Each structure stands twice: as structure tokens, then as C-alpha cells.
Structure 1
Amino acid sequence: MLGPRLLLDGALGTALIARGLPPEALPEEWLLARPGVVRDVHAEHAAAGAGLLLTCTFNLAAPRLAARLDPVRVEALAAAAVRVAREAAPHARVAGALGPTGLAGPGRSAPVRALAAGYGRAARALCAAGADLLWLETQHERAEARLALVAARATGLEAVVTFTPSGGPPWTLTDGTPVEEALLAMASLGASAAGVNCVAPGAALAELAAWARGALPVPFVAKPSAGLPGAVRAPEAFAADLSPALRAGAALAGGCCGATGDHLRAVAASWRAIA
């Protein structure tokens, strides 16, 4: 079961960039070439108290990865990602992470067959690799998220969906769906938890968490961004901005872009201070 008060991990992509990942490279390429660096990031987050780690597989269902690596390596990548996370934190839960494919977007209908095939293969690979659950993050389109969730649930594993809305408040997806409506839709389709990631912490996130406490039938996830390189909030400031969402009832919380182990420690301290 997920929640209550489950501390999630921090950023993986920006952490790898800080360790030298070239701007044109994908994190999955380093998973194969430099697994120790990925392991170190996982270990940093686990040492800060994270009880759940997302694998280095954000692009596993996306054509951009197939264009860089042989598609037959999907299974090998999934196995390596789960193994590295387990080695870094044997006592943490490992969630197989899948980000958006880039195939759906404003003015473009979701290509159902391509999305179902890509997410299906990636989800099955992560399940076979031993992931504890699947984590569909940074989703921008309701239709794509639905296809991703159906593929994830077909493995028999729990699945979590987090959206990255824009605009607002109120926040909406790129297809115009209010984020609240999208979260309710994912819960009705069997998501074990749902929420947002890569948004700014603060009042809008706290308002969404308060709404979720009364209306969302599954735990609410808050995984906001600490900022991009050169504009990262200090850990204490990040935790202070996230604290209202924690008080409002967020059950699972961590950090997205820019969030390090220090950010997670600050969030954990804020959570402990909430009765």
C-alpha cells in the first residue's frame, strides 16, 4: 500500500547532469555506460529517507530512446535499472518509471496503437525485472495517461500516475483537461495513487492537495520541482514552500527537478513537525 507520509525520491535527471551527463545524452545511456553514477544518486536519496525510488527509465516507452539505442535493449535496460536501484537501497520500494512518449500533444490525436505497444512493452519489461510497482510520471495528456495506465495495470502491478499541468491556477493539461478531472479519471481506472510532479511548490499545490483530501479516492502525490540548474531553491525554502501541501494532506511527497538528498531531508523534517 502507498502512503500515508511516504517520502519519495528526488531528481535523477538533473542529478546526473550535475555529475557530467552531456546535454544531448539520455539518462538511460548512462545507466548502461556508468551504472555506478546512477546508483550513487539512488543511494543519496535513500540515505535522506526516501522509501521509494524511481528507476532510470523515464524514456523507456518513448521513440526518442529507440532512436538512440537498439529497441531490443528495452528488457536489458529495465533489468539494469531495477537492479541498480535495489543495490543502492535494498529496503526501499522500487517503482518502474515511465515518462511521456512525445507522440501525443496539442492538435495531435493520441496514436492508440503506438502508445499501447510502447507502454505495454516497457511496463512488461519493468514488471519482469522485479519492479514493485509502476510510476507513470510527467504526463501531459489525459488520453496518453489512460493508455499508459491500462498497459501498466495489465502487468498486475500497482500503478501511480502523476501529471505535469500548466497554466493557472487553475491547472490544466495540454489537452485542456482540468487536472482535478484527470486525477479522478486515473483513480477510476485503477491507479493506486495520483498527483502532480514538476510543478512549483506553493499555494496552488496546497489547494490541489486540499481538494484531493476531500475528493480524490486514492492517495495524493506531490512531487514538485526545486528548480533547474542555476535556479534551484535552497532545501529549507523548498520544504517551506511544500509544507502547506503536506499540511493539506499530501500522502506521498518528494522532489522533481533539482531536488537533492538535502531537499528530501528538509521535507522529512517539515513533515515531522506536522502533527
Structure 2
Amino acid sequence: MDFLKLIADRVVLFDGAMGSMLFASGLQGGDCPEEWNITHPETITHIHDSYYKAGSDVVETNSFGGSSLKLASYGFADKAVELNEKAAQLAKKVAPPNSFVAGSVGPCGQFIKPLGDLDEETLYESFKEQICALVNGGADIICIETMMDITEATIAVRAAKENTTAPVIATMTFSATPRGYFTMMGVDPNTAAQKLVKGGADVVGANCGNGPHEMVELIPAFAAAVDAPLLFQSNAGLPKLVDGNTVYDMGPQEYAAFIPDFLKAGAGLIGGCCGTTPEHMSQIKKLLQELRR
């Protein structure tokens, strides 16, 4: 099945959170999530399998922080290829027919010159290494996500486009301000959408940072800026601190109730981010099936 043809034909359902699922499974603060691809493979495959069984067409690999630059903070920079290949292999292992594995690529965690010390060529090479390892491991799609810096995001898109034939998704994270929605680095949705598409992204959108109330407000800006498929994955509401723990308390049915608004606003690919679970995706799948009748 061709992913780009599929998204032209119908709404495509992604998975939900990986990070909060890992913490629920025992990951501790300060642990490297990507190391679990080697040390806890059964846990990772169980999470992927749960999302597929919930009806997700696409699951994202456990590789969000898998660039060598990000892994260096755990002392695992030299394990980038191994951890990313394994991430893709674990998802592919349980992928049903006519489903897809998206290689997750998150921010490197460093500032590019002149704001920081990181040069663009080093960043490009780090993303290239990660993305090629994901594709070699079996990823069908590359999903560059939770980006704040448009330069970093477009470098990641270029690394994917120049070194693989995989479709490329790029999403950024926005926060509400008195002047509208912007990323932490001051990028507005219109600029993000246009630059990402110009850079070669096949699908663009937003993830994380907001609950569905806020995410619905972002979609029209993307829809007006570009003629491209749009992916939006919000958190299960806004985070709350309970007994020192971050909690997202929007349940599956409440979350799924927003999906018709996502679709009316222009989203063609949907899923979830922090706090969402297979149960959230199952509710969305049921709703999508009802809408298709």
C-alpha cells in the first residue's frame, strides 16, 4: 500500500503517546527511552501492538530522542545506528498488513549557531545517520516532530529527502501567546507550514504542547497556508501536576469528541501525543468508522 495514496483517499489514524506509556511501564526520569529498544524490547513491541490493535494505521518508533546529538546526553552517541534500527524493527515486527511504521525524529536538544555552538552540517549529519538507520530498520515514513526551530526542522526534512525515498512528515509545537500561536523560537503556523512544504515535507502540521481545544485553533492557519495533507496530534488535555507527577486527564471519549472539529478544520491525519493511549485511538477509530457510513 502506498502511504501518500492512502492519505489522499481517507483520514489516516496515527498512534498516541509513547513517552507517557513508557513511564507507565516503569521508565524513570533520567533514563534513556531509546535504550529500552535493547533492554526492554517486549515492552516496546507491546505498546506498538496495542496501538495497531486499537486501529492505528501508523505507529511511530521509539526513537524520538535517537539522534547522536541527543543520545550524547546519556553517553550513547555511538549507539545511534543500533538504537534506531532496533526501534524500527520492533514496530515492523508487529505491524499488520496495510499498516505503516513512521520513524520518529525529534529535536536534537541543542541550539544552532549563532544562538548556540551547533553548526548546521553537524546537525545534518546527525539527522542523516538517524533517518537512514530508521529506514534500514524498516520504517516506511519519516516523522520529524515536536520541532521549535524552523531551521532545525528543515534541515531534518532535507536529510530525509536527500538520503531516502520515504515520505516525510514534519510537525512543530506551538504555544498560545497574546499575539497568537508561536513556537518557543517565535515561528508562527503560517511560516512553519510554508517553509516545511517548500523544504520538501509531504505532510505538515502540529503536535504536543496543546490539548485538543487549542489544537483545533491551529489547523485553519495551516490549511490556509499550504495545499498539503495535515497531521495534528494533541495532548490529552493540558498537563496538571498531581503529587509531583505530570498528569493528562482527558479521557478517550472526551478526546475523540473533538475529532469532527479537527476534520472540519482541515486535518486529514490525526492521532495523539502526551497522555493519549490505545484506548483514545480506539475511540477515534470507532468515530471514524461511523463517519464513513
Q: CA separation in 1, counterparts of 2:108 and 2:22?
A: 21
TM-score after normalising by structure 1: 0.92
Query: Does 1:190 pair with 2:187?
Result: no
Q: Which residue pairs with 2:184 in the alignment?
A: 174
Q: Which residue pairs with 2:156 in the alignment?
A: 148
Contact persistence 1:94–1:133 (CA under 8 A): yes
Change in CA separation of 1:242 and 1:90 when aligned onto 2, cut-off 3 Å: closer
Alignment partner for residue 63 of structure 1, among 41, 61, 69?
69
The more displaced of 84-93 and 210-219 is: 210-219
Counterpart residue identity of residue 154, structure 1:
E
Q: CA separation in 1, counterparts of 2:113 and 2:17?
A: 27
Structure 2, unaligned runs of 5 or more: 240-245
Q: CA separation in 2, counterparts of 1:230 and 1:257?
A: 9
The more displaced of 262-271 and 4-13 is: 262-271
Contact persistence 1:49–1:264 (CA under 8 A): yes
Structure 1, unaligned runs of 5 or more: none
Aligned length: 275
Q: Which residue pairs with 1:25 in the alignment?
A: 31
Q: CA separation in 1, counterparts of 2:70 and 2:209?
A: 23
Identity %: 28
Change in CA separation of 1:264 and 1:12 when aligned onto 2, cut-off 3 Å: same
TM-score after normalising by structure 2: 0.87
The more displaced of 53-62 and 168-177 is: 168-177
Q: CA separation in 2, counterparts of 1:39 and 1:49?
A: 16
The 5 A counterparts of 1:43-192 are: 43-91=49-97, 92-104=99-111, 108=115, 111-155=119-163, 156-168=165-177, 170-192=180-202
Q: CA separation in 2, counterparts of 1:204 and 1:14?
A: 20
Contact persistence 2:220–2:266 (CA under 8 A): yes
Report deviation, 1:239: 1.3
Q: Which residue pairs with 1:212 in the alignment?
A: 222
Contact persistence 2:101–2:141 (CA under 8 A): yes
Report deviation, 1:23: 1.4
Counterpart residue identity of residue 34, structure 2:
E
Q: Which residue pairs with 2:253 in the alignment?
A: 236
Please tell me the root mean square deviation across aligned C-alpha atoms, in Å: 2.1
Q: Which residue pairs with 1:256 in the alignment?
A: 273
Contact persistence 1:62–1:100 (CA under 8 A): no
